[in-house]
Amino acid sequence: MAAKRRQQNSAAHENGNKSTSNNNGKVKPSRRKDRGSGDASTGQISKWRQLGIPYLTLVGVLAITCGVLHRNHISFMFESDRHFSHLSSLERELAFRTEMGLYYSYFKTMIGAPTVMDGLNQIMYDNGTEFPLTINTLKRFNLYPEVVVGILFRGFTSITTHFKIHTKTCWNINRGKDLSPVQSCEGIGDPAYFYIEHVFFLNGLMMSCFFLFGTYISGSIFGGLISVCSFFFNHGEATRVQWTPPLRESFAYPFLVIEMLLVTHILKIPRPQLKHSILLAISTMSFMLPWQFAQFCLLTQAVAVFGTYVLQYIGSHKFKVILNGLSLGLVLSYGFLFGNEMLLTSFFAACLVTLHVIVHLEPLLEKLKVRFLIWVAQGGLLLVGTVGIKFLLSKLFMIADDAHIGDIFRSKFTDFKNFHTMLYTCAAEFDFMDKETPGKLTHTLLIPATLISTTALIFHVLKSEYTAWKGSQGEMEGEQEIEVEDIKYRSKPHAELLYNVFQLIGYTAMAIMIMRLKLFWTPQLCLIASLLASRQLFSFIKRQEIHWAILAAVLGLMSIQGISNLQKQWAILGEFSNVPMEEMIEWINTRTPKDAVFAGPMPTTATIKLCTLRPIVNHPHYEDAGLRERTKKVYSMYSRKPAEEVYATLLEMGVDYAVLEESWCVRRTKEGCGMVEIWDLEDVKNRGQPPLCEVLGENPGPYFEPAFKNSVYKILKLKKTKTSQRS
């Protein structure tokens, strides 16, 4: 009977039919739901051809328009907030605070070196960032954006100089308030402008892809417009590129949108091929190279795709295409980052290994027959395998760089606290999502629109499942066996939509636990909202014109609060000025040796490295176990420890000057988050002693001597005997 059925299915496949006649003359649905004639790519091309050139041209024009609008929007807000065009070169560098200044310093290294290879050598063998250690900052800090943009700037400068093309305009700016005039240059030929323009271009490209994404999953241009308008209406909750261009997410997120669109496409087409795995690998690598956090986002993606596989919306073939693409992307990233151990021992890597094992065990798991037992087995294997492999690799390679991540989550759900977790959780962006965010997204109707779209999809899926189950009841008992080929290529409609909903669930969990991660959540809400325009999900609206009228009304209602949000952003007018920092930088440049080593608060040391090129011992890139311990030693200046002990610690680290910000002695973002309070958790024996920062502020002797002081910063020079001088 099975042999006869295979012959019938084969004949149906050759004829391009989706039904098969059994030996009783009855017609039943074929088990090969996705197997049609011809190549998958050919089918997709034919589909696009049917839409017509005018339609595709309109889509292309709208995508480009959305990209240009977003690029101009974020550029305008950045200029309005900083008055960047009227800042001097030093002020522009000072505007890149904390991590931004650290990253920009390596772009400055790349363009200032005699040759590209000299620049690469300087950042790959850097002994000025964690003095006296020599580290590969390209490996540690994901600096490929700075390398690429630096090379582009050198080429651009060479060409424009050769052809005598004018690329910038300079003039003197009178700053008033007893401040000296400064020269300010505006134009793409200025290094800072060239750098941020590439960020703005990338995020303009992101919005073009975002429009295409919304159009693709909804099957309607209206869907693309809804996704883009929702993003603009909730811009402050969706991105911070307009305020912080050099951050890693500014370079990485555009590639995530492309990567997710590619995954969605693979899930939708019948027969993805090797080329799809290669394209996915390239996009995955492009997302991972600029940002160390990419692995956690991709972990949720792997689990989301696994969800569609478990529910039998895709077969093992399609699942393997995606797994192979993600795995190859991880391997390439590991190679280009010179064997970055955090990637090798990440949960993402462990998850991929586990998923490969699960999919290869498919023939064995299918023998369990009961679908619920198969789900339990697959879920159990995923959990145990991922956690087990992760900790096995971490122990094997003795890597603890990402141990703080587990501690952060542990501190959120228990009373566990330590110095490092408090530095994170006391910052608002690493706290739980605030109550205002869901309210803001509800006022623009983004959350209600997403809930309606998700409900419609769930209803549609359940209806399809019920219809398929009801139809399967009429099958003959002898035809219940399932071929391996059927399992491999099985497919159900809307797998790509289900994946995006699963992805939204993952991003929601991330955003709730760490508010900073709402930059993933809000855009995904916008994409799911685009499904309001899907004719398949809302087929009960019989006439398309009525559907369009409803969508226009929804956009109109969204715009009431959305335009108000945009007007508030456009109304922001500021001008960057940090005179105390500028005074300190000028003093360091003119009054200290070029090899003088500095320690201090992480945001400040990054600025010192960028603007003075002096060696530093700690910096804001906190994702390294060794660096966390170095920073903890430096921050002992804000503890209650004896001055002699802190002096000995800093002296051992090779520090010449320690920067003390007296405000850190008293500043607290919330209860228990003052620097002295954080130290009281660790340094129990010195509780009750006066804070050392206050002592050093009043009387730095006998181990320190005051070297510089203004309204914000105090620089203390470590007194050194002849035996303690650096050779």
Cα 89 to Cα 81, 103, 455, 517, 582, distances in angstroms: 17, 16, 53, 32, 12
pLDDT of the residue at 41: 42
Give the residue, 99 or 171, on which the prediction is more confident. Answer: 99
Q: Token digits for 123? A: 């950042």
Helix (H) or strand (E) holding 129: strand 126-130
* Alpha carbon 85 to chain centroid, angstroms: 28
pLDDT in tens, 474-495: 554 444 455 555 677 888 899 9
pLDDT in tens, 511-525: 999 998 999 999 999
Name the band, by pLDDT with cuts 50, 70 and 90, for residue 725. Answer: low
Mean pLDDT, range 330-338, rounded to an integer: 96
Name the band, by pLDDT with cuts 50, 70 and 90, for residue 379. Answer: very high
pLDDT of the residue at 131: 95
pLDDT of the residue at 315: 93
pLDDT in tens, 687-712: 889 999 999 988 888 999 999 999 99
Name the band, by pLDDT with cuts 50, 70 and 90, for residue 176. Answer: low
Name the band, by pLDDT with cuts 50, 70 and 90, for residue 25. Answer: very low
pLDDT of the residue at 47: 56
The residue to which tokens 């007018």 are assigned: 573
Would you say domain 579-724 falls under CATH 3.40.50?
yes
pLDDT of the residue at 414: 84
Identify whether the C-beta of residue 613 lies closer than 8 Å to the C-beta of residue 605. no
Distance between CA 370 and CA 360 in Å, rounded?
Answer: 19
- Is 80 exceeded by the pLDDT of residue 544? yes
Q: Which of 25-39, 415-429, 534-548 has the lowest mean pLDDT?
A: 25-39
Q: Angle, nearest 10°, between helix axes 518-529 and 436-443?
A: 20
Q: Which of 32-36, 333-337, 457-461 has the lowest mean pLDDT?
A: 32-36
For the chain, give the number of residues.
Answer: 727
- Is 90 exceeded by the pLDDT of residue 5? no
Identify whether the C-beta of residue 540 lies closer than 8 Å to the C-beta of residue 531. no
Distance between CA 15 and CA 710 in Å, rounded?
Answer: 84
Distance between CA 611 and CA 586 in Å, rounded?
Answer: 9
Give the DSSP letter of residue 491: B
pLDDT in tens, 285-314: 999 999 999 999 999 999 999 999 999 999
pLDDT in tens, 396-451: 888 777 777 778 888 888 888 888 888 888 888 888 898 899 999 999 999 999 99
Q: Does 702 sit behind a cis peptide bond, omega within 30 degrees of 0 on the bond before it?
A: yes
pLDDT in tens, 635-664: 999 999 999 999 999 999 999 999 999 888
pLDDT in tens, 392-407: 988 888 877 777 777 8
Q: What are the backbone dihedrals phi and psi of residue 426, each rounded to the nearest 5 degrees, phi first?
A: -75, -15
pLDDT of the residue at 43: 46
Distance between CA 157 and CA 165 in Å, rounded?
Answer: 9
Within 10 angstroms of residue 351's Cβ, the number of other Cβ atoms is 26
Name the band, by pLDDT with cuts 50, 70 and 90, for residue 63. Answer: very high
pLDDT of the residue at 18: 39
pLDDT of the residue at 726: 52
* Alpha carbon 126 to chain centroid, angstroms: 26
Mean pLDDT for the chain? 88
- Is 90 exceeded by the pLDDT of residue 598? yes
Q: Which of 109-123, 180-194, 234-248, 633-647 has the lowest mean pLDDT?
A: 180-194
pLDDT of the residue at 398: 81
- Is 80 exceeded by the pLDDT of residue 46? no
| DSSP structure string for 74-93 | HHHHHHHHH-GGGS-HHHHH
- Give start and end residues of each alpha helix (H) in 15-98: 40-51, 53-82, 89-95
Distance between CA 260 and CA 422 in Å, rounded?
Answer: 34
pLDDT of the residue at 19: 39
| DSSP structure string for 495-559 | HHHHHHHHHHHHHHHHHHH-GGGHHHHHHHHHHHHGGGG-TTTTTTS--HHHHHHHHHHHHHHHH
- What is the rounded (10 degree) CA torsion for 131, 622, 718, 123? 20
Q: Angle, nearest 10°, between helix axes 99-112 and 116-124?
A: 140
Identify whether the C-beta of residue 266 lies closer than 8 Å to the C-beta of residue 272. yes
pLDDT of the residue at 11: 38
**Domain-wise residue ranges, the chain:** 2-37, 42-51+196-345+399-475+496-570, 579-724
Half-sphere exposure of 350 (CA within 13 A, CB side): 20
State which of 13-17, 242-246, 701-705 shows the largest mean pLDDT.
242-246
pLDDT of the residue at 28: 38
